[in-house]
């Protein structure tokens, strides 16, 4: 099927059917279920985390569409083929040369074969998410996709606010059935100036990371009460106290503005609205945040206290300093140890009882796949940005600026928090690739 360029009036109308079943509608339902599952990071169904079930469900949905001949190539995603091939070769070669299973830590949540397989499943789910989203957008489901992302984001934010008070007041909250990130039971209190929101995730920073996509897209949402959607997510984001979230939103929006026409009236409307929402969110934070000390919680003081040392001495002065201290003591990894193997080597050197994380996609790929892996990763991440900003619509359509802000925000988070290509970033990748595709200028602009 050739790519269709549709006016807004046709958004949500199925363009292809098999019998009485619409492929796009079925794909949209699958996307919604998968996206909900990505927000359930603290929970598992038996021994299987819901986030893993989301990955498997996504692979199943994308696989069925692929077998039915419905999926089309996503611009820029072709780099994944040599990237995955290189990852497989390097990982297998290192496994033959060294006995990496012996490095599995005692509190690892899965045996070595499952641990490595899940790393490759993560790569495939990133690609599958991009392909599924691209397919939905090709078939006129942009508004429907946006509504679901924003509504799931709002409900997740409201759940986070409820759980925040439940943990403080002793109210009921759903039992956390997944192992914590440090092994054992999930921690719900943190050494911080105020109690932090973690919602349905295992850590506050994971909630903040996940909220970046629906938060930015809420500025483009055209339904009733759209300000309430943005405000709910803003409040949840601030209650996490996550510097990662703040840097992602600030860095993403700044980069998206600078790459376009930053002083046009239409483009300045978005940062002005963001400033208003941030101010309202701070008022909400001051009203509901629970301090862990004698004085009231001061978010700006906490954030500036963490950001100051980083501005003076670099990221090595942050709580990620141990990663960069380890990296500085290692020889230049020309080829890398393989996917997952680099974490095992790091953990063995660090003496941790769980799988150690580099907390940076770029550092992880440097030690896992060496120079070829980093080059391929750079191509994968930068090609969609180049295509989008070169297009004639980018300077005039605020919606594209919002999309790029999300994308660049994720590139920031990949510096300081997340170390793998994720399903949620695959969604963002698919949206940016669609809007930056050849011929995209013919499509109607989506108002922000």
Determine contact, residues 322/315, Cβ cutoff 8 Å: no
pLDDT beyond 60 at 317: no
If one counts every other C-beta atom within 10 angstroms of the C-beta of residue 59, the result is: 18
Count of helix runs (H) and strand runs (E) in the chain: 15, 4
pLDDT of res. 286: 83
Task: Give the pLDDT band (50/70/90) at residue 319.
Answer: low
Region 86-93 average pLDDT: 97
| pLDDT, position 318 | 60
- Highest-confidence range of 104-118, 225-239, 296-310, 368-382, by mean pLDDT? 368-382
d(CA 163, CA 188): 10
Instruction: Quickly state the pLDDT bin for 189 (edges 50, 70, 90).
Output: confident
Cα(57)–Cα(144) distance, integer angstroms: 20
Q: In sequence order, which ranges of 218-329 are alpha helices (DSSP H)? A: 226-240, 243-258, 265-288, 299-313, 321-328
- pLDDT per position as a tens digit, 392-409: 888 888 899 999 999 999
Say what the pTM is. Answer: 0.90
Residues 194-253 have pLDDT tens digits of 889 999 999 999 999 999 999 999 999 988 888 999 999 999 999 998 889 989 999 999
Please give the pLDDT value at position 394. 86
pLDDT band at 283 (very low <50, low <70, confident <90, very high): confident
Note the pLDDT of residue 236.
95
Percent of the chain with pLDDT over 70: 87
**In sequence order, what are the residues at sequence separation of 6 or more whose Cβ sits closer than 8 angstroms to the Cβ of residue 425?**
126, 129, 410, 418
Give the pLDDT band of residue 10 (cuts 50, 70, 90).
very low
Helices (H), 139-203: 142-169
What mean pLDDT, rounded, does the chain reach?
A: 86
Q: Which residues pair with 21 in a beta bridge?
A: 18
Judged against a pLDDT cut of 90, whether residue 371 lies above it is answered with: yes
Is the pLDDT score of 443 beyond 70? no
Q: How confident is the model at residue 273 (pLDDT cuts 50, 70, 90)?
A: confident
């Amino acid at each position: 099927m050739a790519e269709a360029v549709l006016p807004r009036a046709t958004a949500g109308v199925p363009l292809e059917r098999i019998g009485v079943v619409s492929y796009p509608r079925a794909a949209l339902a699958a996307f919604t279920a998968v996206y909900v599952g990505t927000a359930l990071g603290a929970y598992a169904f038996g021994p299987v985390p819901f986030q893993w079930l989301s990955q498997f469900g996504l692979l199943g949905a994308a696989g069925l569409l692929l077998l039915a001949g419905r999926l089309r190539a996503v611009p820029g995603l072709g780099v994944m083929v040599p990237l995955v091939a290189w990852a497989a070769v390097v990982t297998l070669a290192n496994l033959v040369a060294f006995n990496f299973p012996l490095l599995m830590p005692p509190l690892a949540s899965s045996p070595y074969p499952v641990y490595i397989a899940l790393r490759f499943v993560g790569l495939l789910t990133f690609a599958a998410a991009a392909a599924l989203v691209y397919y939905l957008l090709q078939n006129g489901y942009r508004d429907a996709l946006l509504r679901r992302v924003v509504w799931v984001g709002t409900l997740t934010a409201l759940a986070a606010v409820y759980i925040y008070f439940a943990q403080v007041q002793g109210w009921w909250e759903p039992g956390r059935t997944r192992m914590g990130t440090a092994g054992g039971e999930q921690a719900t209190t943190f050494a911080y100036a105020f109690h932090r929101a973690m919602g349905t995730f295992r850590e506050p920073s994971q909630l903040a990371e996940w909220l970046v996509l629906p938060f930015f897209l809420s500025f483009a949402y055209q339904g009733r009460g759209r300000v309430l959607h943005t405000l709910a997510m803003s409040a949840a984001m601030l209650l996490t106290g996550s510097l990662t979230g703040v840097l992602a939103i600030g860095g993403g929006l700044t980069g998206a503005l600078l790459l376009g026409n930053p002083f046009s009236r239409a483009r300045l409307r978005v940062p002005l609205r963001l400033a208003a929402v941030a101010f309202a969110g701070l008022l909400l934070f001051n009203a509901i945040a629970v301090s862990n000390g004698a004085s009231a919680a001061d978010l700006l003081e906490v954030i500036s206290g963490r950001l100051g040392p980083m501005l003076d001495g670099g990221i090595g002065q942050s709580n990620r300093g141990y990663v960069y201290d380890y990296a500085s003591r290692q020889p230049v990894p020309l080829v890398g140890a393989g996917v997952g193997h680099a974490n095992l080597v790091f953990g063995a050197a660090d003496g941790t009882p769980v799988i150690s994380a580099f907390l940076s996609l770029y550092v992880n790929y440097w030690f896992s796949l060496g120079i070829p892996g980093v080059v391929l990763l750079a191509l994968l991440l930068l090609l969609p940005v180049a295509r989008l900003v070169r297009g004639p619509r980018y300077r005039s359509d605020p919606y594209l600026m919002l999309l790029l802000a999300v994308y660049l925000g994720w590139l920031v988070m990949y510096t300081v928090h997340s170390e793998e290509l994720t399903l949620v970033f695959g969604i963002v990748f698919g949206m940016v690739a669609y809007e930056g595709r050849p011929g995209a200028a013919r499509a109607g602009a989506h108002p922000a």
